[in-house]
A and B are shown apart, each in its own frame.
Chain A
Amino acid sequence: GQNIDQPTEMTATEGAIVQINCTYQTSGFNGLFWYQQHAGEAPTFLSYNVLDGLEEKGRFSSFLSRSKGYSYLLLKELQMKDSASYLCAVRDHRNTDKLIFGTGTRLQVFP
């Protein structure tokens, strides 16, 4: 079966660093995505990893270890606007863009 797990909720302080973990067990793997979603809005793309290692993109970085079925999203210099849900999603079919989403992590940033 498909299983993608994330912590349900996290809190952090403005200016701090937070790491959101994602573990997955899927029948196939062809890339892992991270999305940000504010309440009542569409998810927006943050990052994509298909090879092991760290991908850095401004304040956000994403890491992947395929052998461990593990990824994390690292958010630096947190801002209040970073309060949102963060969704980990695995693409498990080579020929489609079908994504299976994780449970999502709601991050609350406090001043």
Chain B
Amino acid sequence: GAVVSQHPSRVICKSGTSVKIECRSLDFQATTMFWYRQFPKKSLMLMATSNEGSKATYEQGVEKDKFLINHASLTLSTLTVTSAHPEDSSFYICSASKTGKGSNEKLFFGSGTQLSVL
């Protein structure tokens, strides 16, 4: 299989501060990573597609200046929640796309980050 590591798993911060979440593919290279947001008891909402070496593609309604995405290498994408507010509190999950033949399970998920903004 393939492993995607996401850190931190939980973060509590004060309103107005910025929080960075890292998503790493540990044993494969990922040219594309995805960031999702999940509210309690709800499904995953795609926020943006992160492409290595180029700008991220944001879904409609997602503020790109609020949620900064950087995909500087083939194994690391970061999501920075800038000037966080309580309404940004949520569960954020990343996934990485592993190219190549074989299993249809080509998308591997990180373990998620629970963000709580006070």
Contacts and interface: CB of A to CB of B under 8 A. Distances in A.
A87 interface: yes
A99 B91 contact: no
Interface stretch (A13-21, A67-75, A76-84, A102-110): A102-110
A100 interface: yes
Contact of A48 (B6, B46, B95, B105): B105
Contacts of A41: 111-112
A42 B111 contact: yes
Contacts of B6: 42
A101 B59 CA distance: 13
B114 A87 contact: no
Nearest to A88: B43
Chain A: interface residue count, which band?
20 to 34
A101 B93 contact: no
A111 interface: no
A44 B26 CA distance: 17
B102 to A, nearest CB: 12
Contacts of A100: 46
Given A40-B91, A42-B111, A48-B105, A101 B34 contact: no
A104 B46 contact: no
Given A42-B93, A43-B109, A97-B107, A106 B41 contact: yes
Contacts of A97: 32, 34, 97, 106-107
Given A99-B46, A101-B43, A104-B43, A31 B32 contact: no
Interface of B: 4, 6, 32, 34, 36, 41-46, 49, 91, 93, 95, 97, 104-107, 109-112, 114
17 contacts: A31-B104, A40-B91, A40-B112, A42-B110, A42-B111, A42-B112, A43-B44, A45-B107, A48-B104, A97-B34, A97-B97, A97-B106, A100-B46, A101-B44, A101-B45, A102-B43, A103-B43
